Amino acid sequence: MSATVEPFRALSIGRLAHQLQAEGRSVIHMEYGQPSAGAPKAAIAEAHRVLDSDAMGYWESPALKARIARHYQETYGVGVDPEQVILTCGASPALVLALTRAFAPGDRVALARPGYVAYRNTLKALNLVPVEIACGPAERFQLTAAALEALEPAPQGVIIASPANPTGAIICGAELKAIAAVCRRRAIRIVSDETYHGLSYGEPTRCLLEFDPQSMVINTFSKYFAMVGWRLGWLVVPPEEVAQARAYMAHLFLTAPSLSQHAGLVAMDCRDELQGYLEMYRRNRTLMLDAVPLLGLDGIAPPDGAFYIYANVSHLTDDSMALCETLLRETGVAIAPGLDFDPALGARFVRFSFAVTTPEVEEALRRLISWFEARAVKAGI
């Protein structure tokens, strides 16, 4: 019997936003974690070259796998054989691949709440059991070794995300090491989603492979490399699981897009341009944080990385979906309801993405400040 999964509410907001745009409204898209900058120029040029010279087909780029393996050595000091890198059609198929390889139907998999909406629903769709651990301000909205130690019985697995979506919170190296030790002792298999690596504003992001070589690690070209629509990601698996992971990938998804693999290889060496994107996000983050008091939003998660502000709006509503729809219709600013990320408390939270351009952030804040002020007056605050 198939499982029932919840809708992805941010996509509903996105559909309404595009409908309003089609009607001629000015809309600023802060509902998606979608970099507005686009792929690096050299990657786009390579794609044009390949389109003119290569018919393409089902293919896995040895050069790209080798380049990703080199990235782990250079960035984290971790040795990865290129054959351990399974190229995927984005991070979402990498998640499906990791979960189907690591767990059997009925297995229990722990995850943070709030957390990325697809974790909970993909687990359900695969007939796995999500074990959500409430993570609030005291835990900096992140999983801890203590929380995993306290789970009884121990789950078969855990999904770690650092930086996290929707909060941007980062787990420090010492805590990751402690988490890995607890999981090793309790036989908890780790799937580490490192989608937002490279996007941090202080403390660097640490790779789980530094602490647990048996973990499965997900990454993507969609965020740091700003290649959302290219649908290219990867999964790193332990050496002994390469053959089966490759077989699963072939049967479930065939191969990653050939054109994207060519462009992705070039993108990995466009560091100056990509760091320029990061500096834009840093400016946007500062603008957002400076505006938080003007919006009347005191309770926010720590945006250590990624490009999100996750904010408590319980003083205004207990229906974040309705608030997001009203906000969009009245201001043209699209944001995501917290219900996507937290089925228990998310009706009182919203998420802003600041992955848009700086002028868009400035214009969005101009609209948002007056709207939130009026909303607070109406609520008698």
Q: What is the pLDDT of residues 304-336, one digit of tens each?
A: 999 999 999 999 999 999 999 999 999 999 999
Query: Residues 178-194: what's their mean pLDDT?
Result: 98
Q: Are residues 109 and 216 in the same domain?
A: yes
The yes-or-no verdict on residue 377 having pLDDT over 80 is no
2 domain residue, yes or no: no
Q: What per-residue confidence (pLDDT) applies to 5?
A: 85
Whether residue 56 has pLDDT greater than 80? yes
Q: Report whether 355 contacts 311 (CB < 8 A).
A: no
Q: What is the mean pLDDT of residues 32-61?
A: 94
Mean pLDDT for the stretch of residues 256-261? 97
Residue 286 lies in a domain: yes
- Collapsing DSSP states into helix, strand and coil, what is residue 200? strand
Question: Residue holding tokens 């309770």?
Answer: 299
**N- to C-terminal Cα distance for the chain?**
49
> Does a structural domain hold residue 370?
yes
Q: State residue 375's pLDDT score.
A: 85
Residues, the chain, total? Answer: 381
Take residue 214 and report the two structure tokens written for it: 């048996």
Q: What is the mean pLDDT of residues 78-85?
A: 98
H/E element holding 109? strand 108-113
Per residue in 205-245, pLDDT tens?
999 999 999 999 999 999 999 999 999 999 999 999 999 99
Mean pLDDT across the chain: 95
Same domain, 217 and 99: yes
Residues spanned by the domain of 362:
9-39+272-375
- What is the pLDDT confidence band of residue 7, given thresholds at 50, 70 and 90? confident
Residue 96 domain flag? yes
Same domain, 215 and 241: yes
Q: Model confidence over 114-135: pLDDT tens digits?
A: 999 999 999 999 999 999 999 9
Q: Are 167 and 292 in the same domain?
A: no
C-alpha distances in Å from residue 82, one per residue of 68, 178, 234: 7, 28, 11
DSSP state, 44?
Answer: H
Within this chain, do residues 103 and 171 fall inside the same structural domain, yes or no?
yes
Distance CA 126, CA 141 (A): 26
What mean pLDDT comes out for the span 167-186? 97
- Note the pLDDT of residue 59: 92
Domain of residue 126, CATH code: 3.40.640.10
Residues 199 and 287 in one domain: no
Percent with pLDDT over 90 in the chain: 92
pLDDT for 95: 98
Compute CA distances 53 → 34, 57, 255, whole Å.
Answer: 30, 13, 20
pLDDT at 1: 57
Number of H helices, E strands in the chain: 12, 12
Tell me, yes or no, whether 173 and 221 share the same domain.
Answer: yes
Task: Decide: 72 and 234 in contact? Cβ < 8 Å.
Answer: no
Q: Do residues 148 and 285 both lie within one domain?
A: no
- Looking at residue 299, its pLDDT comes to 85
Tokens representing residue 182 in the block: 């607890």
Looking at the fold, whether 303 and 204 belong to one and the same domain comes out as no
Q: Which residues pair with 234 in a beta bridge?
A: 87, 219
Could you report the per-residue pLDDT of 83-97, keeping only the tens digit for each?
999 999 999 999 999
Report the number of distinct structural domains present in the chain: 2
The answer, yes or no, to whether residue 378 has pLDDT greater than 90, is no
Residue 3 lies in a domain: no
Please indicate, yes or no, whether residues 29 and 97 belong to a single structural domain of this protein. Answer: no
- The reply to whether 56 and 98 lie within a common domain is yes
Distance CA 29, CA 336 (A): 10
Cα separation of 143 and 242, whole Å?
Answer: 28
- Please state the rounded mean pLDDT for residues 51-59: 90
Residue 204: its pLDDT value, please? 87
Is the same domain home to 58 and 117? yes
Q: What is the pLDDT of residue 160?
A: 98
Task: Decide if 278 contacts 199 (C-beta within 8 A).
Answer: yes
